[in-house]
């Protein structure tokens, strides 16, 4: 479901994750709405998955729309590592 190197954005509500999905799809930015991985905590149970190549455009669009995720993780060595949202 989540490939090595992909990012997973966790939101604090279903409303926010659905709004983020609509916004990203509207801009034709490649992403996928997925169930939040069990290894990660999520109040809403959903997350947005996106590739490393799309990280800058995804996170910039979310930031300018005031839809910053609560947490962002990257899959590295088959585990999820929390990353700094500002480190683009």
The CA–CA distances, whole Å, from 17 to 65, 75, 78 equal 13, 19, 24
Measured distance between the N- and C-terminal CA atoms of the chain, rounded to whole angstroms:
24
The runs of H, that is alpha helices, within the chain are: 14-26, 55-64
Choosing among 3.30.70, 3.10.20, 1.10.287, 3.30.1300, the CATH entry for 7-81 is: 3.30.70
Using one digit for the tens of pLDDT, what is the confidence trace for 25-78? 999 999 999 999 988 876 778 999 999 999 999 999 999 999 999 999 999 999
Distance between CA atoms of residues 21 and 78, nearest Å: 25
Which residue ranges make up each domain of the chain?
Answer: 7-81
Would you say residue 85 has pLDDT above 80? no
Q: Are 54 and 27 in contact (CB under 8 A)?
A: no
Per-position DSSP letters for 53-69, written without gaps between them = GGHHHHHHHHHHTT---
Distance CA 58, CA 30 (A): 9
pTM above 0.95, yes or no: no
């Amino acid at each position: 479901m989540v490939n090595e190197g992909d990012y997973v954005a966790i939101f604090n509500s279903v409303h926010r994750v659905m709004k983020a999905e609509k916004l990203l799809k509207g801009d034709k930015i490649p992403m996928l709405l997925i169930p939040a991985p069990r290894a990660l905590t999520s109040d809403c149970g959903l997350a947005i998955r996106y590739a490393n190549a799309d990280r800058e455009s995804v996170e910039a669009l979310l930031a300018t729309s005031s839809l910053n995720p609560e947490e962002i993780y990257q899959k590295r060595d088959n585990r999820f590592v929390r990353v700094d949202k500002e480190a683009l």
